[in-house]
Amino acid sequence: MSYLEVRGLEKSYVARGRTTHVLGGVDLTVDEGEFVAVVGYSGSGKTTLVSLIAGLIAPDGGTIVLDGARVTEPGPERGIVFQQYSLLPWMTVYDNVALAVDAVNSGKRPAERRRLTDELIALVNLTPARDKRPRELSGGMRQRVAVARGLGMAPKLLLMDEPFSALDALTRATLQDELTRIWGERRCTVILITNDVDEAILLADRIYPMTPGPGAQLGAPIEVGLPRPRSRRHMSLTPAYQKARQALVDFLRSRRGAA
């Protein structure tokens, strides 16, 4: 059995008497220490999938098992980096990260927790902005805080829901590079949800393409055969990159035609 096993996940929403079938039986596995990406069009149900794995909403059918335990409610062992607007605006960078660190390290001494928090802030290169509030930060800096907070939960699985989609292209590229570096240092298990094929190939070991909704499903995963550390400059010229990209784009295009 894999570290994370998602089987036959179903979810529909009912609004004003109309039922929207969002997920129609999603299967997904992730091994420990693996970086998996889920790529799909906007509105295909990616955020619903993340909310289900996080335990924030309950599925209509199917199971989620992480490290042998059934997921039934939210918890810090499944840390999340939300899309945006999730930093608490009345807290400084430090306090936002400390909220997560303190929540999962209540047994540790305050000095130790402070050290852990400062370490995370340094990891995402925000030490100079440590005492600033979110509104004083750029969008890229805010998402770095969100990443530090997600890691601060010391999660078994880190869920990232389009963490860079609201950023401009240059900032997004910088943060993607930082994320490869951070993942290289921490080696945590990650599911990255994205609509950016190149982002998925740069970061992930395996990529699941998602069919457009309603009743979205995941296609067969595509292995990214690129060696690490990866560099975006050389990556695009390699056959492994082109093969992965072609497979993803073919899948997504063919399914869109059907929808």
Partner 1 sequence: MSPDAIKRIVLPGLGLVVVLVLWTVISQAVAPDLPSPARTWTESRRYVLEPFFKDGEMNQGIGRLAFYSLVRVAKGYALALLIGTPIGFLLGLSRSFHASFDPIVQFLRPISPLAWLPLGLVIFQKSEPAAIFTIALCAMWPTVINTAVGVRSISQEYLNVGRVLKLSRFKMLTKIIVPASLPYVFTGYRLSLGLAWLVIVAAEMLTGTPGVGGFLWQEYNSLVYSHIILSVVTIGAIGLLLDRLMGLVEARVKAG
Query: Is the Cβ of residue 90 or residue 239 nearer to partner 1 in the bound state?
Result: 90
**What is the DSSP-derived secondary structure letter of residue 210?**
B
Q: What minimum distance in Å lies between the beta carbon of 84 and partner 1?
A: 9
Neighbours of 85 (CB within 10 A): 10
Query: Is the Cβ of residue 57 or residue 249 nearer to partner 1 in the bound state?
Result: 57
Q: What minimum distance in Å lies between the beta carbon of 134 and partner 1?
A: 9
**What is the DSSP-derived secondary structure letter of residue 216?**
B
CA distance 128 to 102: 21
Q: What minimum distance in Å lies between the beta carbon of 229 and partner 1?
A: 30
Q: What amino acid occupies position 247?
A: A
Query: Is the Cβ of residue 158 or residue 167 nearer to partner 1 in the bound state?
Result: 158
> Using alpha carbons only, what angle is made at residue 206 by residues 205 and 211, rounded to the nearest 5 degrees?
150
Q: What amino acid occupies position 77?
A: E
CB 53, CB 69: distance < 8 Å = no
Residues that bind partner 1 (CB under 8 A): 54, 56, 74-76, 78-80, 82, 85-86, 88-91, 99-100, 103-104, 133, 135, 153
Residue pointed to by tokens 């928090």: 117
**Spatial CA neighbour of 101 closest among 180, 31, 154:** 154
CB 142, CB 84: distance < 8 Å = yes
Q: What minimum distance in Å lies between the beta carbon of 135 and partner 1?
A: 7
Query: Is the Cβ of residue 51 or residue 211 nearer to partner 1 in the bound state?
Result: 51
Query: Is the Cβ of residue 90 or residue 170 nearer to partner 1 in the bound state?
Result: 90
Q: What minimum distance in Å lies between the beta carbon of 74 and partner 1?
A: 4
Q: What minimum distance in Å lies between the beta carbon of 153 and partner 1?
A: 7
Query: Is the Cβ of residue 62 or residue 76 nearer to partner 1 in the bound state?
Result: 76
Sequence-distant (≥ 6) Cβ neighbours of residue 19 within 8 angstroms: 12, 13
